[in-house]
Amino acid sequence: MKKSIVWRLVLVGAVLVAAVVVLIPTVRFYGLSPAEREAMTPSRLAKLRGNAVRLGLDLRGGTHLVLEVDQQNLTEDQRKDATERAMETIRNRIDEFGVAEPIVQRQGEDRIVVQLPGVDAVRAKELVRKTAFLEFRLVDDPVNVQSAIQRMDEAAARLSVDIGDSAMTQPTEEGAITDLFEQPADSAAAPGQDADARKKHPLASRVYIVDNGICSVASDEEPTVRRYLEEPAIQRVLGRDVSFAWGETFTDQRGTTYRHLYLLKNDPKVTGEALSNAQMGVDYDDGSPAVDFFLNRRGARRFGGLTKENVGKLLAIVLDNVVQSAPRINSEIRARGQITGGFTEDEARDLAVVLRTGALPAPVMISEERTVGPSLGEDSIRKGLKSTLIGLGITILFMAVYYQACGLLADFALLLNFLLLLAGMALIGATLTLPGIAGVLLSLAMAVDANVLVNERIREELRAGKTVAASIAAGYSRAFLTILDSNVTTLLTALILLQFGSGPIKGFAVTLSLGIVISMFTALFVTRVILDMVTSRWTLAKLSI
């Protein structure tokens, strides 16, 4: 046997062995029973999953979101990289969150596609769209709160601002919000109750003010008060130095729900940029989940100055314009603090993630949302696998019947092509999706087409009276340019889809382009070396084709 044939056989054998080795983690991972998965350590399971063929959202289940970055309030310079910065922040959050095999990619000028396999839709939306703009703002003095409400009501009467009418109830117990600081005691200052009072004093009659200046609004009054505070004329009366911000909800002894309302100074002395770290902790007062935050050197210096100069005052911890808590400052504090607010463990953990990874440069809106359940994903896998096996089986049977021994050789090349394609996807970390399965089938069809062209050319040479060896050589030589032309054309199309497509289109393009390259190897190299080996060892008078 010629040395060139031996080396080519060794290469084919090495590629086959490498493909099997690469696919072992895939077989092991997807062959694990639920009990075996539970028994395996998280690090080992993650390593095994990382080396296996990845399943896309449509096969595994999860959440697909298309986010749109709101750039209306950004300057021209800020708009240039707002989407890139938002995408990086979202990617960091997802990495911190621990989602396996996420997809975060840009779509157009201001859109971001996010795919999170195996993540609950509600939690996913909160994780990626929370702006996470953290501020520490002082609560205005109680006397200023009453004065501001009085001035706003006087302006409403003067300008005939009508915000409607509804019943007013008073809370019997304030909700307790605790922090590293001591929380102040509350004492009531009841608002007016009757319809005439609500008409003359639309805001004062709808809020319940305690002696520390914190207001409470009944849940049925909240929409009315919101409309009132959003009136441009009323906002002008309030001025630029202070603004109202909504806080946490609580329920009194009678079961009535209220929400806190704070009058805050607009100049934040410290923002989330001062944070060096954040993590889920435990509320020092009642043991409920909380978020511990830690300040960098510059932030600690500014926070220390803020707390030192305002001992005895309330400091509101504001996240995305919502007050999480407003504890009293008892002494100078520098290095750390705590955010409480009745969080669940998941809420506290997620908030810590978004604080660690920083705020988004601009708000994001969800323009498209799609959720795939695990059962639907399993059904897609089952149907996709079934269609692949049926198509592969029919093709194998046709080639074996029509081309006999050479057809069986083409079938071997086809199976090797499928094996190498899966191994290639595992090796480069590609994700298999439903469109990707379509790409696999198309690439297998093109591999069959290449074998058909070669076999037909060999038949033509045999009919012309050439020997078997000469017919094989001429058949591959004459078919090569035709196969190369069709495959290169399709490959270029697949690469264009890969470059400019997104989501499912990319999944299709990846498997198709990878399959085309592999089909060229199996159709023109593997089958040729096997036929050359046979003709070099035996002198064939006739070829089974």
Domains of the chain, by residue range, sit at 3-35+373-537, 62-131+366-372, 135-359
| Residues in the chain, overall count | 545
What backbone torsions phi and psi does residue 437 show, to the nearest 5 degrees?
-65, -40
Q: Looking at residue 374, what is its pLDDT?
A: 59
Q: Looking at residue 197, what is its pLDDT?
A: 64
CA distance 171 to 482: 83
Q: What angle do CA 153, 154, 156 make, to 5 degrees?
A: 60
Q: Looking at residue 246, what is its pLDDT?
A: 93
CA distance 228 to 226: 5
CA distance 199 to 163: 9
Q: Looking at residue 137, what is its pLDDT?
A: 92
Which residues are CB-neighbours of 204 under 8 A, at least 6 positions away? 149, 150, 153, 191, 192
For residue 114, which of 358, 365, 384, 350 has the smallest C-alpha distance?
365
Look at domain 62-131+366-372 and name its CATH class: alpha beta
Find out if CATH 3.40.50.10110 is the number for domain 135-359. Answer: no
For residue 439, which of 517, 369, 365, 372 has the smallest C-alpha distance?
517
290 beta partners: 281
Q: What is the mean pLDDT of each run of 10 residues along the chain (545 residues)?
A: 81 91 89 81 78 78 84 78 85 74 80 80 77 86 89 83 49 35 38 61 84 87 89 85 90 88 88 86 85 88 90 88 86 82 82 80 83 67 78 86 88 89 87 82 85 88 85 87 88 86 76 89 87 79 76
364 beta partners: 69
**Do 179 and 327 touch, CB atoms closer than 8 A?**
yes
Burial 246-271 (b: 16+ CB within 10 A, else e): bbbbbebeeebebbbbbbbbeebbbb
Report the run of H or E that residue 368 belongs to, with start and end: strand 364-372
Q: Looking at residue 161, what is its pLDDT?
A: 62
Look at domain 3-35+373-537 and name its CATH class: mainly alpha
Residue type (1 letter), 437: I
Alpha carbon 74 to its chain's center: 24
pTM of the predicted structure, to 2 decimals: 0.54
Which residues are CB-neighbours of 366 under 8 A, at least 6 positions away? 65, 66, 67, 68, 125, 129
Strand-pair category, 431-432 with 54-55 = parallel
Q: Looking at residue 138, what is its pLDDT?
A: 92
Report the run of H or E that residue 115 belongs to, with start and end: strand 111-117
**Do 178 and 284 touch, CB atoms closer than 8 A?**
yes
Q: Looking at residue 258, what is its pLDDT?
A: 92
